[in-house]
Chain A
């Protein structure tokens, strides 16, 4: 089983749609969680951190469920510019490195 698993998609949605991505992680002792965004042939960029209480940044909402070892990202009112690959990232406890999922590809169409 992979340490961080994501639905690879692709998700093809119309502008204005709401879309949700899920991610599961295998290490129950993981301590930090993030969503990164990666545009085609570009480097990953931090989208948002994920907290147990849930957090929101404009149209984006991230949730963490430690009991189920599950992370989600919700995008409301999708824009064309949201088209990208979304990477789920986990940092294991007492570790230095970030563990990335394979990414979920989103295409928002007019």
Chain B
């Protein structure tokens, strides 16, 4: 059974650019959530996808958007990058909705915005 995989693991962008982060959910999981973790802080909920639809959103602006594909993999897109977007972006999958106690995290994508 493969776990949650994320790509890229590290990337550097400049202010104003756009970024796409990718996540492959664990086998058998159909729900994907994205979190942003700034240095020294706990993860903050961005949004969740279930059956290719957004199913809950945290306090993030519309320039944070996402997709879920038929194979349950997901993308997080961030437009017009700001310096404060520098963080570890974590993807987590679960086998059912809401199923939080079996949330499995990927290793994350570390984004640096210069």
CB < 8 Å: which of A34, A99, A102, A103 contacts B45? Answer: A99
Tell me if A42 is interfacial: C-beta within 8 Å of chain B.
yes
| Residues of A65-97 whose CB lies within 8 A of B | 87, 91, 95-97
Binds A, one of B14-22, B61-69, B79-87, B99-107: B99-107
CB of A97 within 8 A of CB of B105, answer no
CB of B48 within 8 A of CB of A96, answer yes
CB of A45 within 8 A of CB of B45, answer no
**Contacts of B48 on A, CB cut-off 8 Å?**
96-97
- Cα(A8)–Cα(B41), bound, Å: 9
Tell me if A32 is interfacial: C-beta within 8 Å of chain B.
yes
CB of B45 within 8 A of CB of A44, answer no
CB of A45 within 8 A of CB of B56, answer no
**Sample of 14 further A-B pairs with CB below 8 A, known A46-B101, A97-B56:** A4-B42, A34-B101, A44-B43, A45-B105, A96-B48, A96-B97, A97-B58, A98-B103, A99-B45, A100-B35, A100-B42, A102-B41, A102-B42, A103-B41
B residues near A (Cβ < 8 Å) are: 33, 35, 40-45, 48, 55-56, 58, 90, 97-98, 100-103, 105-108
A residues near B (Cβ < 8 Å) are: 4, 8, 32, 34, 42-46, 49, 87, 91, 95-103
